[in-house]
Structure 1
Amino acid sequence: MIGAGAPNPGVALAEAAAKLVGSPFRLHGRDPATGLDCVGLVVAALSATGATPHAPSGYGLRNLSVDHWLRFAERSGLAASPGPIRTGDVLLIALSHCQHHLVIAASAASIIHAHAGLRQVVRQPLDPTWRLHIKWHVAQQTEG
Structure 2
Amino acid sequence: MSPIERARGAIGARFLLHGRCVAHGLDCVGLAGLAYGIAVPRGYALRGGRVAQVIAAAEAAGLVRVDDARVGDLLLLNAGAGQLHLAIASETGVIHADAALRRVVERPGVPPWPELARWRLKED
| Aligned positions, number | 124
Post-superposition Cα deviations, 1:91-131, rounded to whole Å, max 9, x if no partner, equal 00001131110000112x41000001111100012445310
TM-score (norm 2): 0.90
- Rg larger for: 1
RMSD after superposition: 1.6
Post-superposition Cα deviations, 1:2-61, rounded to whole Å, max 9, x if no partner, equal x7xxxxxxxx111110011011110000011000000000111122xxxxx121223211
Structure 2: which 5+ runs fail to align? Answer: none
TM-score (norm 1): 0.79
Structure 1: which 5+ runs fail to align? Answer: 4-11, 48-52
* The one of 113, 121, 124 aligned to 1:138: 121
Superposition map of 1:102-141 within 5 A: 102-107=86-91, 109-141=92-124
Residue 61 of structure 1 corresponds to which residue in structure 2? 46
1:101 aligns with 2:91: no
1:77 aligns with 2:67: no
Residue 86 of structure 1 corresponds to which residue in structure 2? 70
- % same residue: 40
Take 2:108 and 2:47, find their aligned partners in 1: how far apart are those partners? 23
Secondary structure, counterpart of 2:77 in structure 1: strand
Take 2:43 and 2:24, find their aligned partners in 1: how far apart are those partners? 19
Superposition map of 1:29-68 within 5 A: 29-47=19-37, 53-68=38-53
1:64 is displaced (CA, Å) by 4.8
